[in-house]
Structure 1
C-alpha cells in the first residue's frame, strides 16, 4: 500500500503558478480550466495582482491523481 501525503501534516507554504505547473506538469490554461471545473485547488489572493496556491493542497491533488490511476482511494 502506498503512503499518501496528508495535507494537514505538511507546513503551509505558498507556491506560484510556475511551481504548480512544475509539480503537476499541467499547462497554465489547463490549471485554470480545472479550477473553473472545480477539480483543482483554487488559488489564494495575496494582493491586488498576486495569487498563489497552497503547496499541500496541490500535492494532495497529485496524490489523488496517482491513487485514482492505480484504483486506490485516498
Structure 2
C-alpha cells in the first residue's frame, strides 16, 4: 500500500467524525488525483503484460512485470 493510500484512509476516517478543513480537502483531492494516475498506469501495464503473454514474448512480459512490481512498491515508474 502506498503512502497516498494510507493518507486517503486517514482523511476518509476523519471526515466520518467531522468536516474536513480546507487543507484536508485539498489533500483529499490531490490524493484522489494521484490515485487515478497510479491506477491508469498500473492498468496499462497489466494490459501490456497480457499482450506479452498472448504473443508468448516471455522477455517482454518479464520486463513489464518488473515495472509493475516497481510501481506497486514505490508508486513510480523508473
Q: Same fold (TM over 0.5)?
A: no
Larger radius of gyration: 2
Higher helix share: 2
Q: TM-score, normalised by structure 1?
A: 0.31
Structure ranking higher on relative contact order (CA contacts 8 Å, 6+ apart) = 1
Q: TM-score, normalised by structure 2?
A: 0.30
